[in-house]
Amino acid sequence: MSEEKRKNPLSVYWIYVAFVILLVSTHLYVNSETSTTIKYKETLLELVEAKGVKNVKIVNQSSARFQLRKEGIQYINTHKKLDFPNMRKVINSKKTDVNRLVFELENIGNHANFEKALDDRKYSDYENIIETNWIAQILGYLLPFGIIVLIWMFVMRRMSGGGGAGGGGGQIFNIGKSRAQVYEKGKSTNVTFKDVAGLEGAKEEIVEIVEFLKNPKKYTELGAKIPKGALLVGPPGTGKTLLAKAVAGEAKVPFFSLSGSDFVEMFVGVGASRVRDLFRQAKEKAPSIIFIDEIDAIGRARGKNNGFNTNDERENTLNQLLTEMDGFGTNSGVIILAATNRADVLDSALMRAGRFDRQIYVDMPDLNERKEIFGVHLKPIKLSTEIDVDFLAKQTPGFSGADIANLCNEAALIAARHNKKFVEKQDFLDAVDRIIGGLEKKNKIITPEEKKTIAFHEAGHAAVSWLLQYANPLVKVTIVPRGQSLGAAWYLPEERSITTTEQLLDDMCATLGGRAAEQLIFNKISTGALSDLERVTKQAYAMISIYGLNDRVGNISYYDSQGRDAFTKPYSEDRAKVIDEEVSKLIESQYQRALQLLSENKEKLEQLAERLLSSEVIFKEDLEAIFGKRQWDPIIEETPEELKVPNSEALAETVTESETNSEVTDDAATPPVDTKPEENAS
């Protein structure tokens, strides 16, 4: 079908170019008898006086055309003034026929004075002629008009998207055509399922969709109906778009890819028109797949906050999309894939069965999945023999697939910066520090008093986290300014499925350890604990108002997963007062707990701070030397079982559990752990 509809390679613009070349060539041919021109009127008059010219023609009373006699040629060869040198070059050229050579004086000045000068020199062999250059006049009229037409056509084609996929390339008014990028047979994204590591559950369902398109009889014989649509939901960077690219590379059927914003236009009705054109093309080329990235751009729930959102055009586009998705037959061979990281704002009509039958959640990768992702991104990198993938996976909790790809690239850049032939383990550790903490600022000016305060602040964090059972184990502490922070501490959080109250309290106490150390040693506090206070405040409010972990408030959660109470509080003023009181009480109790721990270990705290001041960087071994070996080591249970996904040799599914790797916020679904450095913003 594509071969039959292939466009003629002879574009209309080539016809315009050929026409212009023809006009210019004709003009040059007509005027080819004029071989050269002269600038000075005195040149012609001097040659007339020397009796060296013939056939003088005054053209349109503005210019003169003449030929040379033998006397004129001889006179030019013996004199070197005025235009004679240039005329001599033309006369003596081998290609020049002297008998047919015609010179032209571009400007004769005043016509009457010029004729009088000829008469004074007793020359009467001249005549006045009138010439009309029709081609020049035609070009003078048509050329501006043609330029305007070409500019207008260029602008209209740009407004219509350049005539991309959708069949509207030859039309001027094709603004309502679909802008989807089409991948057909012989054209793919060069991404397959082998390039997608992790995401085993998602790949299993996607592979089933691809298999249906390749072999639909296998399913329809049993009465099965393939889902009309699948929605990929997950945080940014987890591989939703990559998974769709793999589908385009594996399906071997027409694949229409576009973004939700491609439907948005300033003109009324354009979005709905593009939706209709997209589905029309997909039905013509069925079996096919339509992929809409960032579908929340047009799929937002209707009727919410109407006073703040009056975009009726977006709703019209959504209505047309809903109609098209439910308008074709069950087994028509058109399947819709969509991706978003904001599934909570999508319209309920879009999410119902019959439109998006499946919602595939693409979570952050766990330990085993990170190993697989590292295996993909480390292939093109020249690695040292000491590189351990298991170690790298354990050092990157909370990293998405995009973060891991960035980490591998950053490590390679660091190795190249140091003129290394292979990427070593230390390069990866430096890359982790660079991504999490930011760029080192070794030249930042810090007074000795400030440096001492920062050292005790970071030592307080490290000491409290080391002494608490459920606090995250320390990896590294530094007082070298990095990014926006004056000091930083790296922890290795445990990958938990659930988090208890004791774990949250220990984490909160460790976070307040920095300010507690300042209070204990200097008997004063600073603004360096800004990020600490922000974190524990959000954490405390989440514990009380979301997770129901407070006895006074009770087992009540005010968390709204649908976001319907964005501008109103779901509780009374009295209850808000109670929540505020309990938050203050909870934070203060953990602060006093941190003070008590540091008071009991004040000497060890001072030793740790002094070591940090002297070396600027301390590691886990330094804490073990001062405090002794930590009693509580995290136990990571790995699931060795691997489940093979049908029809793909490279797909392996590992039974894993979700991890908690982000700070608690008002919309968090899991308790927090933190891998970010503590900031000292003074």
Query: How many CB atoms lie under 10 A from the CB of residue 428?
Result: 27
Q: Say if CB 248 and CB 210 are below 8 A apart.
A: no
Tokens of 160: 């219509």
397 to 90, 424, 583: CA distances (angstroms): 83, 20, 29
What is the residue-wise DSSP string for 576-644? HHHHHHHHHHHHHHHHHHHHHHHHHTHHHHHHHHHHHHHHSEEEHHHHHHHH-S-S----------EEE
Give the torsion through C-alpha atoms of 411, 417, 419, 425, to 10 deg. -20
In terms of phi and psi (left: phi > 0; alpha: psi -120 to 50; beta: otherwise), the region of 304 is beta
Q: How far apart are CA 263 and CA 274, in angstroms?
A: 6
Nearest alpha carbon to residue 468 among 312, 596, 615, 658: 596
Show Cβ contacts of residue 12 under 8 Å, excluding neighbours closer than 6 positions. none
Cross-strand pairs, 57: 65, 127
Cross-strand pairs, 115: none
Three-state SS at 289:
strand
Question: Pick the catalytic residue: 265, 294, 313, 458?
Answer: 458
Nearest alpha carbon to residue 59 among 91, 88, 31, 82: 31
Beta-strand pair 617-619/488-491 = unpaired
Q: Say if CB 472 and CB 673 are below 8 A apart.
A: yes
Helices and strands in the chain: count of H runs, count of E runs: 23, 16
Q: How far apart are CA 462 and CA 661, in angstroms?
A: 19
Q: How far apart are CA 662 and CA 658, in angstroms?
A: 12
Q: How far apart are CA 124 and CA 682, in angstroms?
A: 100
Beta-strand pair 288-293/36-38 = unpaired
Tokens of 357: 């039958």
Q: Is 490 exposed, middle or buried (0-12, 13-18, 19+ CB in 10 A)?
A: buried
Show Cβ contacts of residue 234 under 8 Å, excluding neighbours closer than 6 positions. 240, 341, 361, 362, 363, 364
Instruction: Sheet with 255-259: list strands edge to edge.
Output: 181-183, 255-259, 288-293, 334-340, 229-233, 358-361
Nearest alpha carbon to residue 429 among 487, 388, 459, 370: 388
Query: How many CB atoms lie under 10 A from the CB of residue 302?
Result: 16
Q: Is 317 exposed, middle or buried (0-12, 13-18, 19+ CB in 10 A)?
A: buried
3-state secondary structure 89-136: HHHCCCCCCHHHCCEEECCCCCHHHHHHHHHHCCCCCEEEECCCCHHH
Q: Is 386 a catalytic residue?
A: no
What is the residue-wise DSSP string for 45-81? HHHHHTT-EEEEEEETTTEEEEEE-HHHHHHHHH--S
Show Cβ contacts of residue 365 under 8 Å, excluding neighbours closer than 6 positions. 198, 199, 238, 372, 373, 399, 400, 401, 404
Catalytic center residues = 458
